[in-house]
Amino acid sequence: MRSIFLLELKEMKHSMIVFILSMLALIATCLTITWSVDTYIDLKENETQFIDVFGEGETDMYRVTYQGDFDVLERLFYTDALAMERKAVFEALRDHPDFTYTYTQNVGIFFFLENQMPHYNEAMIETVNESGVQLWGMHGDPLFFEQSSVNIDEGDVFSRGDYVIDEPDPLELPVVLGSGYKAYYQIGSQIDAAYTLELDHVTLVVKGFLEEGSSVTSHQGHKILLDHFMIVPAIETNYDPFLADGFDEVFLRTYRTDKLLDGRLAFPADKREHVLTAVREIFHQYQMYELALWSETEQAVSILSGLKQETLEFTQLSILIVFVTLSMSVIQVYYKVLRNRKKYSTFVLTGMKKFSLLSLMNLESILLIVATNVIYGICVIRLQERGETFGFTLLTVCIVLLFQFCLLIMQILIGYTRIYQVDMSSTLRQRE
């Protein structure tokens, strides 16, 4: 029996071109299935995020932006002329009864002087440059801790008073740390030389720790795990900012861009026109005419529509390629049985067991699947290294293996049915 299988392997050399072409077709099919499944998973994740953020379409969300070039940005946010107006616009948006205004910002927290740096590990570093180390940090607004995915494990959240600064110097702020900081700090620990809001005289006092796995969703729809983040309050000022030579620096930094640009308005969809009109009136009332709103909801809907279309196209392509691959497999099985019908008839009539016969008939198919999986795995790994977003997932692997298993079973059944339909005695007499 062993010699028969070795002879079959030698005969495969004569059909090596067909074997290679079949392998390439099967690899293309597996990659297409992988892309289709990955696109479908991406679509479902985005649909879930959309529902989490916007509900079932009953909530509209808009973000504050500006129209114009850098000179407009400078006029609105980097001159003292509109300093009080910036604060007034922010407070009008924050307190408006017809919508919710959030302004949590993902910004870094800088630390300087090696002997003053807090304890941290590599996962907590956002960037390192000649000026110092920037750790992952956020300026959280009063609604930050109301998110269901953000939970306190130890200590307290910020009180309303924690957001209000009554004097600019010395500036001491509470901080809530991610669970990764528990090994380094305790409630009440002080972190000196913190450089938030581009100010170098800030001291942070640890007020609490987040539960492990706490997270938020960024404006781009990405999940941000907070285990290695610092959360400081997005402060407001409650003192006279006027100095002899201009405005106080803390005041200017507080209301420069963080409170307005990329701020998010959420309101019932049926109030859209009323809210948009009210917000435009606020912008114009305080001479910030270039401020504008753009629809985050429409952008999300557009992205979802694009993903649905992409998923549909990949699915259609996968169905077509799978159909072609199956058709080629059927033709190959029929041709192989036709070409080797005398040999297989001899094996049957001499008493070869069905399992051995089927194994012999499908030896090429088994080797084809093994070779395909090796090259398919290499292709996926190489594509991942080049930055492609798709890759191995349990669902993808199961679907690809299921397809290959079904393909092999189909070939076995067709070959088995076909060989036992042959008139073996007549076949053997044809070449006597």
Range of the domain at 69: 59-297
The whole-number pLDDT of residue 432 equals: 47
Domain boundary among the residues 281, 297, 313 is at 297
Which range, of 144-158, 279-293, 382-396, 399-413, averages the lowest pLDDT? 382-396
Among residues of the chain, what percentage have pLDDT more than 90? 32
Q: Which of 260, 258, 261 is nearest to 198 (CA)?
A: 258
The whole-number pLDDT of residue 5 equals: 47
Three-state DSSP class for residue 213:
coil
pLDDT at residue 429 is higher than 60? no
Q: Tell me, yes or no, whether 161 and 282 share the same domain.
A: yes
Q: Tell me, yes or no, whether 249 and 352 share the same domain.
A: no
Q: Tell me, yes or no, whether 43 and 68 share the same domain.
A: no
User: Mean pLDDT for the chain?
Assistant: 81
Q: Which carries the bigger pLDDT value, residue 98 or residue 247?
A: 98
Q: Tell me, yes or no, whether 236 and 383 share the same domain.
A: no
Task: Name the pLDDT band for 357 (thresholds 50, 70, 90).
Answer: low
Q: Tell me if 344 is assigned to some domain.
A: yes
Average confidence (pLDDT) over 301-305: 82
Q: Which carries the bigger pLDDT value, residue 237 or residue 420?
A: 237
pLDDT at residue 361 is higher than 70? no
Q: Which carries the bigger pLDDT value, residue 30 or residue 230?
A: 230
Q: Tell me if 112 is assigned to some domain.
A: yes
Q: Which carries the bigger pLDDT value, residue 107 or residue 265?
A: 265
Q: Tell me if 53 is assigned to some domain.
A: no
List, for residues 172-203, the tens digit of each pLDDT value: 999 999 999 999 999 999 988 777 777 777 88
Q: Tell me if 44 is assigned to some domain.
A: yes
Three-state DSSP class for residue 55:
coil
Q: Tell me, yes or no, whether 283 and 326 share the same domain.
A: no
Q: Tell me, yes or no, whether 338 and 381 share the same domain.
A: yes
The whole-number pLDDT of residue 348 equals: 61
Task: Name the pLDDT band for 2 (thresholds 50, 70, 90).
Answer: low
Among residues of the chain, what percentage have pLDDT more than 70? 80
| Reported pTM | 0.70
Q: Is the CB of residue 84 less than 8 Å from the CB of residue 255?
A: no
pLDDT at residue 428 is higher than 50? no
d(CA 380, CA 368): 18
Phi first, then psi: what are they for 294, rounded to 5°? -130, 150
Domain boundary among the residues 244, 277, 297 is at 297
Find how far residue 421's CA is from the centre of its chain.
Answer: 54
Domain boundary among the residues 279, 297, 315 is at 297
Average confidence (pLDDT) over 359-369: 71
Q: What angle do CA 149, 155, 161 make, to 5 degrees?
A: 90
Q: Which two tokens stand for residue 196?
A: 């938030």
The whole-number pLDDT of residue 88 equals: 96
| Element holding 193 (H helix, E strand) | strand 190-195
List, for residues 320-353, the tens digit of each pLDDT value: 888 888 887 777 777 776 766 666 666 666 666 6
List, for residues 219-253, the tens digit of each pLDDT value: 666 788 999 999 999 999 999 988 777 788 889 88
Q: Tell me if 89 is assigned to some domain.
A: yes
d(CA 177, CA 311): 40
Q: Tell me, yes or no, whether 326 and 413 share the same domain.
A: yes
Q: Tell me, yes or no, whether 169 and 293 share the same domain.
A: yes
Q: Which of 115, 107, 114, 113 is nearest to 135 (CA)?
A: 107
Q: Tell me, yes or no, whether 341 and 356 share the same domain.
A: yes
List, for residues 130-172, the tens digit of each pLDDT value: 777 889 999 999 999 998 899 999 999 999 999 999 988 788 9
Q: Is the CB of residue 262 less than 8 Å from the CB of residue 105?
A: yes
Q: Tell me if 401 is assigned to some domain.
A: yes
Q: Tell me if 90 is assigned to some domain.
A: yes
Considering its fold, how many domains does the chain have in total?
Answer: 2
Cα→Cα distances 270→52, 55, 267, 274, Å: 19, 14, 8, 9
Q: Which of 420, 432, 407 is nearest to 341 (CA)?
A: 420
Q: Tell me if 54 is assigned to some domain.
A: no
pLDDT at residue 92 is higher than 70? yes
